[in-house]
Amino acid sequence: MAIDEAILRELQQQGSDVLPTLRLYGWKKPSVSLGYFQNVTTEVNIPFCRRNDIPIIRRPTGGKAVLHDDDLTYAVIAREDDRLFPGGLVGTYKVISQCIAAGLEKLGVRADMVEEGRPSDGADFQAFCFSAPSQHELLVEKRKICGSAQIRSKGVFLQHGSLLMSFDPLQTCRTLIPSGADAAALQRRVTSLYEYADRAAVDRGICGILKEAFEECLEIRLIDGSLTEAEEKMKSHLLNSKYRDSRWNMEGKRLYED
């Protein structure tokens, strides 16, 4: 999260000629990421997370909670006026979902884009990102496979998303959803890539496949890169002032101002 926000902040300071960034990454251990505005005490099973050594981190982006385990997380950071992402927030969702859908198509998986979002069907699932699709998110056979959230600030946006490789509804219920929630009902709403694609092919090449899909859909060439010196410095600052601070992660409060 510190890396993604550091890229966002440094892009805010740069001119319009700075290139957008696509990051693809996984998680070292099962972890919960909270949306910017979420109340952790009512929407995450904190005792269960502590007993099972599941860290809780608050994202800079909005949306609902995600249990990151066997998933691929993406981050797209660009200027709001970048020609690749017309149409504001909703248009950006649509463009990025088209890229991801094209990547899934390369694996033989057809993902349909939701034209209109719909609310969660029950209170038990309201805190969980995959409980219901938002506009322009992706479904496979009417089940959500990828959830996304965004922040826009000072002319720059950061969009996070989680593409599920596999999905454990029982563990999700234990971690994020109130006691008594029906794991079978959640399974009917959510799916994952391994249900439809060859696991070896996914593990061998998912990042490369998505890279190709973004390049083809956007008619660009992606260049491998690393953090700049300024981004590294900002990342370290954000780690110390924000993302390693329990008051930020649990309450949304900062240790000190920038």
- Which of the residues are catalytic? 129
Instruction: Provide the β-strand partners of residue 23.
Output: 75
**DSSP letter (8 states) at residue 15:** -
CA distances to 60, 72, 131 from 147, in Å: 15, 11, 9
Among 101, 168, 166, smallest CA distance to 136 is for: 101
Q: Is 78 helix (H, G, I), strand (E, B) or coil?
A: strand
CB atoms within 10 A of CB 24: 15
CA distances to 89, 104, 118, 244 from 36, in Å: 17, 28, 21, 15
The side-by-side arrangement of strands in the sheet containing 31-34 is 56-58, 31-34, 66-68
- In terms of DSSP bridges, do strands 156-164 and 143-153 run parallel, antiparallel, or are they unpaired? antiparallel
